[in-house]
């Protein structure tokens, strides 16, 4: 690769001929090539800069420099935003008191993130530039090099996934496999044996998933474009039940794009040795510490919550920790609003997340009142699962249409064609059926959530200092 860049935010034009041959935007080609380069680099990083062969300082420096190089190649001068925002938030961490540090970091980081999103959408081409700004979230107070390495390392600078600072530091320092994982790795002569697990099988499996996802997306997404759902001729000539089926198929064809991006990013981290999460009961290593999705749980989700819990997992955990668990008034609405701001400034994002608030409340109400009647037998439970699966898929498709269409006009046109029926149904369910207040649910769920949260983040308490630090990174969407 070369560092030659154009004057636009699409970065290098070295791959322009390939972009023209395969008829894909240059920024998407740059992204995929850089991720493949990062995958090969990750293998080299694990073998030749292993913690047993290189100091944490060297590993931090190399990971950071490679990350900046990939950002420059993909985004040109826009890569400077990584340095600017990292500098702003790190300065706050250094000079602000502990009492206000997390608040100031949150405001500055989210404000700068919004500024970048606004300029990308309204100064550059609206809806055209397919790389997006999102955020990364941190833990305890690091040194400047550690902070830059955490935010800008080559494994996650383009597409994440986000992770806790403690987990990243353990990976760099080579302590990720001990001591908390030793007890699960078998014994020998009454003593624990310590062997570093290989990520090879998991990386190969995830790369196969990437290949299948990419093939499905490239071949099927053009057959079922979401935009056809708002085509006047289609709406006039197609029975409503077939419109519903088409909407499901079009959204089903859209999701493999995200499966490809997030699974490839996960594979890159695993190839570098990052992401080990203990052992399964059969003794095989788990490499899902920072996995961002569970495909089967998404496609067969039987509730709105189950779908969201398995989609963009690491960001959802951050939103839960930084907003849902801390907001004193209507945490559900506040979390969806923050998520919309984090994603960007397209109006469709806000329509999706506002609709999601109603969907979540209605689904919670319905589950609370109806599910007990289906738990009497296996047959009843199976019927309930089939019905809720179908309802969940329709509800998800209906909710995320604006997220795909982006603009207000097309989004409202779609909802009008459905007579806002699901919006109205959600409102009636919430008003008509009783539901347990959120603070009582939170109180009941807190012990379980704390246990899960601690396991996922390593050191739960350390996040209270700088949970809200965000450093812009890009993801291809």
Catalytic residues: 312, 343
Residues of the chain by 3-state class (helix, strand, coil), percent to 5: 70, 5, 30
Query: Residue 129, Cβ neighbours under 10 Å: how many?
Result: 17
CB 122 within 8 A of CB 224: no
H or E segment to which residue 133 belongs: strand 131-134
Phi, psi (degrees; rounded to nearest 5) at 293: -160, 160
The DSSP secondary-structure symbol of 279 reads B
Distance CA 9, CA 12 (A): 9
Q: How far is CA 398 from CA 245, 261, 304, 335, in A?
A: 12, 23, 12, 20
Q: How far is CA 71 from CA 35, 75, 79, 86, 325, in A?
A: 11, 6, 5, 14, 34
Q: How far is CA 187 from CA 181, 183, 283, in A?
A: 12, 8, 11
Handedness of CA 319, 168, 184, 204 (dihedral sign): positive
- Residues 6+ positions from 280 with CB-CB distance below 8 Å: 286
Helix 421-432 × helix 347-370 angle, to 10°: 40
Distance CA 461, CA 96 (A): 20
Distance CA 387, CA 25 (A): 40
Tokens standing for 113?
């993130």
Distance CA 437, CA 417 (A): 34
If phi > 0 it is left, if psi is from -120 to 50 it is alpha, else beta; for residue 233 that is alpha
Phi, psi (degrees; rounded to nearest 5) at 131: -90, 140
Query: Residue 375, Cβ neighbours under 10 Å: how many?
Result: 10
CB 476 within 8 A of CB 28: yes
H or E segment to which residue 116 belongs: helix 98-118
Q: Distance between the two ends of the chain, CA-based, in angstroms?
A: 23
């Amino acid at each position: 690769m070369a560092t030659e860049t154009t004057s636009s935010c699409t970065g290098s034009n070295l791959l322009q001929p390939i972009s023209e041959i395969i008829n894909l935007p240059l920024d998407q080609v740059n992204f995929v090539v850089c991720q493949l380069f990062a995958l090969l680099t990750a293998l080299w990083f694990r073998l030749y800069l292993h913690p047993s062969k290189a100091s944490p300082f060297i590993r931090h420096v190399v990971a950071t420099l490679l990350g900046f190089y990939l950002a420059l190649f993909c985004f040109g001068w826009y890569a400077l935003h990584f340095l600017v925002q990292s500098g702003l938030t790190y300065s706050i961490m250094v000079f602000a008191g502990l009492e206000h540090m997390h608040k100031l970091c949150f405001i500055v980081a989210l404000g700068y993130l919004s500024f970048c999103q606004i300029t990308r959408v309204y100064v550059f081409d609206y809806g055209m530039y397919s790389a997006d700004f999102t955020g990364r979230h941190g833990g305890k107070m690091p040194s400047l090099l550690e902070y830059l390495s955490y935010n800008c390392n080559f494994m996650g600078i383009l597409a994440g996934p986000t992770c806790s600072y403690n987990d990243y530091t353990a990976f760099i320092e080579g302590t990720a496999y001990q001591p908390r994982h030793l007890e699960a790795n078998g014994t020998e002569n009454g003593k624990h044996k310590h062997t570093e697990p290989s990520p090879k099988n998991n990386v190969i499996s995830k790369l196969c998933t990437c290949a299948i996802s990419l093939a499905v997306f490239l071949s099927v997404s053009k057959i079922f474009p979401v935009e056809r759902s708002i085509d006047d001729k289609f709406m006039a000539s197609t029975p409503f039940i077939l419109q519903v089926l088409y909407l499901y198929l079009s959204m089903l064809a859209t999701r493999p794009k995200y499966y490809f991006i997030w699974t490839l990013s996960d594979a890159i981290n695993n190839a570098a040795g990052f992401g080990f999460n203990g052992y399964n009961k059969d003794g095989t290593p788990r490499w899902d510490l920072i996995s961002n999705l569970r495909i089967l749980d998404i496609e067969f989700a039987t509730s709105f919550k189950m779908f969201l819990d398995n989609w963009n997992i690491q960001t959802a955990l951050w939103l839960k920790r930084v907003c849902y668990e801390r907001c004193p008034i209507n945490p559900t609405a506040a979390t969806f609003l923050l998520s919309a701001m984090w994603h960007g400034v397209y109006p469709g994002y806000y329509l999706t997340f506002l609709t999601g608030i109603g969907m979540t409340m209605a689904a919670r109400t319905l589950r609370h009142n109806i599910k007990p009647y289906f738990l009497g037998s296996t047959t009843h439970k199976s019927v309930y699962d089939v019905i809720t699966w179908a309802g969940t898929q329709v509800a998800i498709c209906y909710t995320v249409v604006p997220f795909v269409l982006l603009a207000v006009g097309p989004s409202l046109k779609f909802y009008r064609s459905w007579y806002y029926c699901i919006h109205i149904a959600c409102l009636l369910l919430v008003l008509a059926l009783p539901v347990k207040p959120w603070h009582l649910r939170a109180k009941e769920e807190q012990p379980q959530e704390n246990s899960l949260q601690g396991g996922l983040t390593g050191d739960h308490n350390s996040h209270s200092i700088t949970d809200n630090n965000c450093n812009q990174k890009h993801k291809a969407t």
